[in-house]
Amino acid sequence: MNKSITSICAILLLFGTSACSSVTNQEAETPTTQTQVVQHPTEQQNDSGSTGKQNQSESQKKISNYLETECQKAFSPYYQLLEYQMTDYQETAVNGSVEATFAYKLIYKNYEKDPDTVDYIKEAKANGDPHYQQLYNEYGQPKEMNFELKAVLDPASSISLYSNTSPKGAPKWESVVMTDYILSK
């Protein structure tokens, strides 16, 4: 009986190993889009120990650095910024400038503090709001902001940023700065 169990375990282990190998080979053959992920406080490293920024074009590095700086200026007074992700990056040369379109994700969370000291949560508690507990629980959890952007890098390395205001159909690009995404009273 023990030999039967041992044989079955060996067969399952062999089958599992070959299945994993097959998945890995399929993934290696699948084309990928260039993705840049920067994690803070340190950058994420790949298997060779280098960061993802080394695989980027010079234009993409400039745009990525610009966006990170602009996000810090706009959002860090309100949120702890955890991660920046640029995906589906495509660039073209237009009249001496570089136009790049991409998806941009910013992962953030509220600064650490007692949720019951935050005005909107205090108000929900005082008013007996049925969503109070949910607001309280979600306060310190990571959240994400997603953008569909176009950056234009002119020959003098000045960057103009545009947001797609028409998510369905043909893109409609309008000039934007990251502080446009901060709600004000």
Encode pLDDT of 123-139 as tens digits: 999 999 999 999 999 99
User: Residues of the chain with pLDDT > 70: what percent?
Assistant: 70
pLDDT of residue 123: 95
pTM for the model: 0.67
Contact 169, 112 (CB under 8 A): no
pLDDT value for 104: 97
Q: Does pLDDT of 176 surpass 60? A: yes
Note the pLDDT of residue 185.
58
Q: What confidence tens digit (pLDDT) does each residue in 20-75 have?
A: 333 333 333 333 333 333 333 323 333 433 344 557 789 999 999 999 999 999 99
